[in-house]
Structure 1
Amino acid sequence: MWVTSSALTRYRLAPNPGPMSLDGTNSYVISARDVSGEDAANASVPVVVVDPGPRDATHLAELAAAGRVELVLITHHHPDHTEGAADFHRLTGAPVRALDAALCLGGPAVVDGEVIEAAGARIEVLATPGHTADSISLLLADDGDHGSVLTGDTILGRGTTVISYPDGRLGDYLASMRRLEGLALAASGPMTVLPAHGPVLPDLAAVARAYLAHREERLDQIREALAELGDDASVGAVADLVYADVDPSVRRAAENSVAAQLDYLRGWA
């Protein structure tokens, strides 16, 4: 099922729900043509696909049928975003571009600040590392009244994202969140958040502030745990204290978050 998410975008939910992917991956289609009207499934309408998602034949076929795919963009390397990319490239012939050249097929790696003109839309690449080292967000300044940002897993539609340490680093993540907050505050009004998991959110600045506050609260909890356990406490011991109530299915993610926070507090650079 297609969901219209903004004036320039719609998405199809991939069939890969789970503790870390929430309801599944939102695979987005960007097009300057009316994505909610009669052009929504017109094979001649140029489109950009963001994060084709898992290697699911039905899902990829539906994405390919959304229009004439000019370009595929990848927000980061995790399999729930990229597993189907090679099949989708063969299916559509469209180049696949990402910050990591190893993920690219038929096109060069994107670079921070690059402006891509495709499917009648202007897409600006923003390097937003932290969740992973190769995480990017995509600014659609002309999307609706105040613009939108496809945030990949840097911002989720529900809950908060995991720092995939040591690939992702908390210091990078905080800097990326401040960059997104600054971008949003410079806009003429609330910018729409188009996350790769969970529902669309209406106000990027508000979400970025909430994420930053949440991270500071967690860091305070880690500091308190270290005061009780000692500065050389292990990741597991800190996680037992700070994340005592987490479901076992996300215990590994909790330990990963603790490792990232300890890395940051112990002299991240």
Structure 2
Amino acid sequence: MFSLINKSAVITGGGSGIGRAIALLFAKQGAQVHIIELNADAATGVVEEIAAAGGQAKAYAANVADQQAVVAIFKEIGGVDILVNNAGIAHVGNLENTAEADLDRVYNVNVKGAYNCLYAAVPLMKQNGGGVILNMASIAAHVGLTDRFAYSMSKGAIFAITLSVARDYMPDNIRCNSISPARVHTPFVDGFIAKNYPGKEDEIFEKLSKSQPIGRMGKPEEIASLALYLCSDESGFITGTDYPIDGGFITLNN
């Protein structure tokens, strides 16, 4: 089950965290993995991990917000069976202390970046007779989070984009779903805490861990396992659906 043999999978932000876990697992399941990543060294490191385990992967250094660069990469890749829109950034702040530049920065990566990859991938999938798209949304698309105005905006957009693409491209045998994680323990989270809460790292880590009713953050590998299911043939009856993977955050936080 869950074989990706002979599948070409593009994963954005695959150099660390959730993206890295997805890239490693997809390669283990037989996919030819293509990592689009702003941090070229990180992407190369994951490619080397995959190669050492006997898998196939290639890295492409690019900012997903740059449509011209993204389209060029997809043309180089050629056939695409799976697209995972995982690249994303965060911002702390409510409406009043979110500057226009902050909003634009989050939008350009999280929303426009996903759009750019969809814009490049969908025609290739249509030519190939179909494909699977998985977008990384968030619990922020479903519940109100304090001081996450720009981030919530972007993830709400990803949720809506998922529905739109799923509806429009069903006749082309293209499925599109999304995942909404709660807090997942990645290097991004550690860096985020260190930057925004200096001197309070342990306190904030504990607070964020316990904000999930299950009592801990998720693991990147747990998100990757769900991603594998949704991108495999076994989930062929699923499209236009968002899957919270949140330790009970959305429904049990009362």
Please give the range of the TM-score, normalised by the shorter of the 2 chains: 0.3 to 0.5
- Provide TM-score, normalisation by structure 2: 0.40
Kindly indicate whether structure 1 or structure 2 has the higher relative contact order, using CA contacts under 8 Å at least 6 residues apart. Answer: 2
- Provide TM-score, normalisation by structure 1: 0.38
Q: Which has the larger radius of gyration?
A: 1
- Report the structure, 1 or 2, having the larger helix content: 2
